[in-house]
Amino acid sequence: MPAVQAQRLLVFCQAVSPVLSFFLSPLRTRVTEYAEFLHCKSKKFTDFDEVRQEIEAETDRVTGTNKGISPVPINLRVYSPHVLNLTLIDLPGITKVPVGDQPPDIEYQIKDMILQFISRESSLILAVTPANMDLANSDALKLAKEVDPQGLRTIGVITKLDLMDEGTDARDVLENKLLPLRRGYIGVVNRSQKDIEGKKDIRAALAAERKFFLSHPAYRHMADRMGTPHLQKTLNQQLTNHIRESLPTLRSKLQSQLLSLEKEVEEYKNFRPDDPTRKTKALLQMVQQFGVDFEKRIEGSGDQVDTLELSGGARINRIFHERFPFELVKVRRTGLFTPDLAFEAIVKKQVVKLKEPCLKCVDLVIQELISTVRQCTSKVNLYSVFLVMKTYIPLFMGNCLHSHHSARLVWEGCFSGQTGLFTPDMAFEAIVKRQIVKFKEPSLKCVDLVVSELATVIKKCAEKLSSYPRLREETERIVTTYIREREGRTKDQILLLIDIEQSYINTNHEDFIGFANAQQRSTQLNKKRAIPNQVIRRGWLTINNISLMKGGSKEYWFVLTAESLSWYKDEEEKEKKYMLPLDNLKIRDVEKGFMSNKHVFAIFNTEQRNVYKDLRQIELACDSQEDVDSWKASFLRAGVYPEKDQAENEDGAQENTFSMDPQLERQVETIRNLVDSYVAIINKSIRDLMPKTIMHLMINNTKAFIHHELLAYLYSSADQSSLMEESAEQAQRRDDMLRMYHALKEALNIIGDISTSTVSTPVPPPVDDTWLQNTTGHSPTPQRRPVSSVHPPGRPPAVRGPTPGPPLIPVPVGPAASFSAPPIPSRPGPQSVFANNDPFSAPPQIPSRPARIPPGIPPGVPSRRAPAAPSRPTIIRPAEPSLLD
């Protein structure tokens, strides 16, 4: 009995040598066949006796010399033109009784180690069993059945056929009759220990194996399906099947990767480093693309739309219609029976026609003024001054936050303590002009917000210029400088428009109510003017003071309309929690709590009524101050104003109330109604002119500058070569991307060739393997028998044989399956590796071995067809003992 040895995993990787010189010269064959160990990366072993010695030495270094065990594998790769691209994992045999330095639970450790590898769906299990032991006691078959109950990955390997007792054979086992497996059994005859010590050549061993099967009366009819070459061919066929079955999944994965790369590679397809005009072309393309991206982000078209947050043109639109403090109604653009673009074109043409009568009116006024001045003095010429008026005729600006108190004070100041029947013009104009000045701050703030958003858009558009850092830097600098310049001109224009509004109060405007109507109007505050039932805003808000008794704040989905504020459980708006009318509601700021990161504002009733249940106010919280301001602007559109307006009115009403007489009160209310009417006119003009002014002087001019002047500024700011100097990171990224793109295309072409030329074999039909489930150590039938005897269906239990050998697992080797620590890499593929998923293959309706009766077969033995010969001879030429021994 051989001595117990130390046990370790041996990962035996086989790779076809790239230099197939065996067919040319035996001398060069010795050079091309070599082995490498993972722990000896820099050393190539050409003498396989040294390989054997290194395996033993490495085992002793890790496990010691006293029969220890280690799960750390020994990784060995053999390069030869006579081997397959497979990874063989030589697992240790199961040890029942520990000896030496082996742990008490060595049996369970080895079993867990074996199951770790044979459980992989991408592995093929070679259940190795000696022919001179009871097959039903094979631990290899038992473990294989646990992880492969369908038998799709298990191949039985019967060794030591030449050592069986005389008069017995394993014919029924090899014919898959006795204890059948789905993929059957393959018999092999390896070198004995005496042959190994005697340096018996592998060629001689293969020839002796072939002679044994051809000369043995029980195996001669199946000699073409026995032996190491047939085992090699079978494993090669399984590799082919795996490749064929993995192709659809692999093709889909490669195609998706190729599609994802095509957009990025598009700009690099025509890249020519040696082209002298490349930098010029690239500069022109970059500038044009920058202008297109800027325009798309402003217009919100193309693939530049951000679906996560508002940006670009959408944010500017919100600045115009929500953040602008006194915008009351968002005018929705409609098509009116014609497309929007056609409608806009018609309106713009009609607006242009207004220039002539306006300018004619200015000319008439200028002539009259000049005539009047000349009558007074001949030295004054105001013609050049009035020409400026032609530019600003259509512009009207203003803003107003008036109060009852200010109207009364102005009134008393203009009357100097006297009362009269008629309202003086001076009081009305003084109040209106004072309120017009208040338009400056919100108007200039609106410009600042637009400038900030334009700067953000410029940075986002410049991200595509990151390939050229200097070009990106210069582009951002030039465009930002131009925007700042336009910002100053836009603010000057807005201040000029405010001055124009102050210069002349047009009480003959068609929308002005006049003195008679002003006396009849009530003194109530302006109510909301939004369209009834119009949804102004939806979004999530947190109510801070409703759920205090239930453990804190709670988040709801709010819907703000022109008449009410409703909140729901979620955005589906099916379960309404409450609806709050907007009548007599105001907004006030609430200080943020010490431990809270939320920004809070409150809604309350001006008549001191409860807003919700027993609460006088409800506190609404947002994540940022920007969200709070946006919600306040939406409430403002619905007619819910901040508290300070009411507070100012109340303070003004309380002051000097004792001095108010009825006649003065009526006159003050008349002034107030007149101011309300005129301010409404200014408000309407603001909503129309503010977006137009900013769009014309800032945004549209910036577009034109980028399209027509940016390139010239870039040429004058720096040298073209320095501008188009590519960063090292971008050059590496481009090279990697192009390399990956071409590799994917080549891989798809190779897969196309393989899919049409590779032939796969169907999986054998299932067999009755209940014997593996019922055996607990006793065999239903023996393996040994005389050659001429007839086997009954069963026989008494046999005595347990010696410990069987471990399963040997071949795994197909991929390009990266080199030396690595456990777990051993396996080739990629679907989970059911050996299942035939080819939609064009026929179902397995024929027996595993088609009927063909060779001569010399006794009656009653099933006939078989020998497998077709490979396209070229497959020769195994290892220079070490077979791992199956």
Which of these ranges, 20-24, 41-45, 324-328, 619-623, has the smallest mean pLDDT? 20-24
Spatial distance between the Cα atoms of 543 and 546, rounded to a whole number of angstroms: 6
First to last CA, the chain: 14
Share of the chain above pLDDT 90, in %: 6
**Which pLDDT belongs to residue 63?**
76
pLDDT tens digits, 631-648:
888 888 788 888 764 444
pLDDT tens digits, 673-719:
788 788 778 877 877 788 888 888 988 898 889 888 888 888 888 77
Cis, bond preceding 823 (omega within 30 deg of 0): yes
Spatial distance between the Cα atoms of 613 and 76, rounded to a whole number of angstroms: 80
580, 657 contact by CB (below 8 A): no
Helical ranges in 585-624 per DSSP H: none
457, 311 contact by CB (below 8 A): yes
Spatial distance between the Cα atoms of 103 and 11, rounded to a whole number of angstroms: 23
Q: What's the pLDDT band for 755 if we cut at 50, 70, 90?
A: low
Q: Which of 878, 807, 777, 781 is nearest to 159 (CA)?
A: 807
What the chain holds in terms of domains, given with CATH numbers, is 297-354+394-512+658-720 (1.20.120.1240), 535-638 (2.30.29.30)
- What is the three-class DSSP state of 642? strand
Spatial distance between the Cα atoms of 500 and 225, rounded to a whole number of angstroms: 105
Cα separation values, 579 from 547, 553, 558, 568, 628, Å: 17, 19, 10, 9, 21
Average pLDDT rounded to a whole number, residues 770-776? 56
Spatial distance between the Cα atoms of 622 and 543, rounded to a whole number of angstroms: 9
How does 145-184 read in b/e, with b if 16+ C-beta sit within 10 Å? Answer: bebbeebbbbbbbbbbbeebeeebbbbbbbbbebbbbbbb
| Backbone angle region of 530, left / alpha / beta, with phi > 0 → left and psi within -120 to 50 → alpha | beta
pTM of the model: 0.43
Angle at 45 between CA 42 and CA 50, to 5 degrees: 125
425, 671 contact by CB (below 8 A): no
Structure tokens at 846: 């024929």
Instruction: Report whether pLDDT(738) > 80.
Output: yes
Instruction: Report whether pLDDT(303) > 80.
Output: no
Which of these ranges, 39-53, 289-303, 371-385, 859-873, has the smallest mean pLDDT? 859-873
Burial class (CB in 10 A: 0-12, 13-18, 19+), 645: middle
Q: What's the pLDDT band for 655 if we cut at 50, 70, 90?
A: very low
